[in-house]
Amino acid sequence: MAVTGAEAVVRTLTALDVEYVFGIVSVHNIPIYDVITTSTNIKPISVRHEQAGVHMADAYARRTGKLGVAITSTGPGASNAVTGLFKAGFASSPVMMITGQIDTPFYGKGKGVLHEAENQLDMLRSVTRRAESPRTVADIPGAILRAAHDALSGRPQPTAVEIPIDLQFGEGDVDVPTTVEIPRLAPTDASIQAAIAKLAAQRVVIWAGGGVIRAEASDELVALAEALDAPVITSTNGRGAIPDSHRLSCGAVSPGLLQAIQDADVVLAVGTRFQGSAVGNFTFSMPGELVHIDADPGVIGRNYPTTTPVLGDAKSSLAAILAGMNATANDAGFVDDVLAKSAAAREQALARLGPDHQAIMDTIRELSPTDTAFVRDATVPAYVWGNTLLQVEEARTSMHSTSAAIGPGLPLGIGAALGGRKSVVIQGDGGFMLHIGELATAAQFNVPVVILVFNDQGYGVLRRIQGARFEGRTNGVDLATPDFVKVAEGMGVTAEAVAGVDAFKAAFARAMAHDGPYLLDIDQASLEPLKFM
């Protein structure tokens, strides 16, 4: 069937069940956008910076489990997006970026053509699992499908496809699929039987990561925890894999919680790579024996010696264990001890908040439906309470800046809201400035995102680190910040300034009831300081 290259792109994305594309139209992708305008399946979200577009695709993918897609121009547009691809990789998020490229007769010849980037493919390969560059119109669907397959398979990772502009305009006979399925990675029977044998121990703890959520395995995780009467801790990426209100939930990993599991005979780790910051950069010693389930063979055994490896996706592996085991409940005294110690660790962490931030955190949970997505940027409130203490009840409702980069909060919040019903962003003023232009995107598409800017007029995390390490001296951390209310209103976003806990509760209620974006500029000086260091 003869179609243009741009039509081949859009038809393949439709077969991949793509609902949104995030990006900026340009001379090197305009044919694709033209076809999208006639599509009834795909809606383009026009962003103000390509990096933000990839962040939105990342959050959309984490919120829905689907492929997140960004479209950029070649050269400067693609290079702008690289940070977003890097962060999506850190988050194990299935994101695909489609970018333009100059005409094939000029490609790689260094002639100074507009937006020329002859080494673009190498740049993209440095931050993706796969980067493709089709040479004919007929090659386009296959290139996109290979990239999508690699993005969605195993431990998800970002991918990219660059398409020369003459191929987008050109025509060719193209075989475009109508549907695409990505099979689950099933474990071997031998590995499942070995895991079952280890789980007959009397003191078992489950460590659940983002792979549980990616595999839609929360039901299986909870069922196994209940069958074993095993306490469950989660990585920050794994929050929501088990409801925080569940009796066996110990919450997100923390130093106090790590101490609580030191007497375990077996740790069952599911879909986690034990990210360095969660385990004190590997100063933590894993207790007992480690049974490690993961869809990525490179993760198993990388950071901790694994007694029993299980290569498979979390849902298939946990279901097989449940089907084959005769459950032996944990030692009741051990379980009670772990739960008591985890509760004590939580109380100790809450003490660092003081009454004001705890009241704000409780208000956010009280007034937010359980399917609200909580998005945290790299900021002091996120580190102290947003990432670990704010209660999470459903999978795919918790996300953060996994690479600890500042700034992605707002675009992540927009992508999460478009993938669900509503999102709440916890952000500092310093990080907020990096993508403040996306307020206009939120307004244009009336995105239901509530932006909480905790304003201390600078980079609060770095200010505290510098002050502690260099005898109180700081540099580059105090910022001249604009009037965020006026800026937001100027971009079409409803906003108000907030000082104090009582004012926050009333304002947050208005924000949650509002149909569309809403910003609260929270004066940190009006709140009792957090005990961060």
- Three-state DSSP at 322 gives helix
d(CA 202, CA 266): 9
Helix %, strand %, coil % for the chain, to 5? 40, 20, 40
Q: Which residues is 72 bridged to in the sheet?
A: 99
Neighbours of 281 (CB within 10 A): 9
Q: Which fold has domain 2-173?
A: Rossmann fold (3.40.50)
The pair of structure tokens assigned to 52 is 């933000």
Kind plus residue range of the DSSP H or E element containing 429: helix 429-432
Helices then strands, each counted (H, E), the chain: 21, 20
Could you state, in chain order, the average pLDDT of each consecutive group of 10 residues for the chain (533 residues)? 93 96 96 94 97 98 97 96 96 97 82 81 97 96 96 95 97 85 91 96 95 97 97 96 97 87 94 83 87 95 94 97 91 94 92 93 97 96 93 96 91 97 96 97 98 91 82 84 97 98 97 98 93 62
Strand order in the sheet with 398-400: 398-400, 373-376, 423-428, 449-455, 518-523, 494-498
The pair of structure tokens assigned to 108 is 């790689």
- Three-state DSSP at 132 gives strand
The pair of structure tokens assigned to 216 is 């839609």
The set of residues, in sequence order, having a beta carbon less than 8 Å from that of 342 and lying 6+ positions away, is 231, 233, 250, 251, 256, 257, 260
pLDDT at 462: 81
Q: What is the maximum span of the chain, computed from C-alpha positions, in angstroms?
A: 73
Measured CA angle at 5 (ends 3, 7), to 5 deg: 60
Nearest to 391 by CA among 415, 367, 414, 411: 367
Q: Are 100 and 163 in contact (CB under 8 A)?
A: yes
The set of residues, in sequence order, having a beta carbon less than 8 Å from that of 396 and lying 6+ positions away, is 62, 63, 64, 65, 213, 240, 373, 420
d(CA 521, CA 483): 9
Q: Are 448 and 421 in contact (CB under 8 A)?
A: yes
* Per-residue burial over 65-84, b = 16 or more CB atoms within 10 Å of its CB, e = otherwise: bbbbbbbbbbbebbbbbbbb
Please state which architecture CATH assigns to domain 352-526.
3-Layer(aba) Sandwich (3.40)
Tell me whether strands 249-252 and 289-294 are parallel, antiparallel or unpaired: unpaired
Distance set, CA 296 to CA 155, 187, 263, 302, 362 (Å): 5, 12, 28, 11, 37
Going by CATH, does the domain composed of 189-342 fall within 3.40.50.1220? yes
For CA atoms 155, 181, 221, 234, the dihedral sign is positive
pLDDT at 463: 83
Kind plus residue range of the DSSP H or E element containing 50: helix 50-64
Nearest to 143 by CA among 160, 156, 125: 160
Segments making up each domain of the chain, as ranges:
2-173, 189-342, 352-526
> Exposed, middle or buried: residue 363 (CB in 10 Å: 0-12, 13-18, 19+)?
middle
pLDDT at 276: 74
Fold identical between 2-173 and 352-526? yes
The set of residues, in sequence order, having a beta carbon less than 8 Å from that of 386 and lying 6+ positions away, is 361, 374, 376, 400, 426
pLDDT at 532: 60
pLDDT at 533: 47
For CA atoms 140, 143, 149, 155, the dihedral sign is negative
Dihedral, CA of residue 328, residue 330, residue 331 and residue 334, to nearest 10 = 170
Instruction: Tell me how far the alpha carbon of residue 213 is from its chain's centroid.
Output: 11
d(CA 9, CA 56): 20
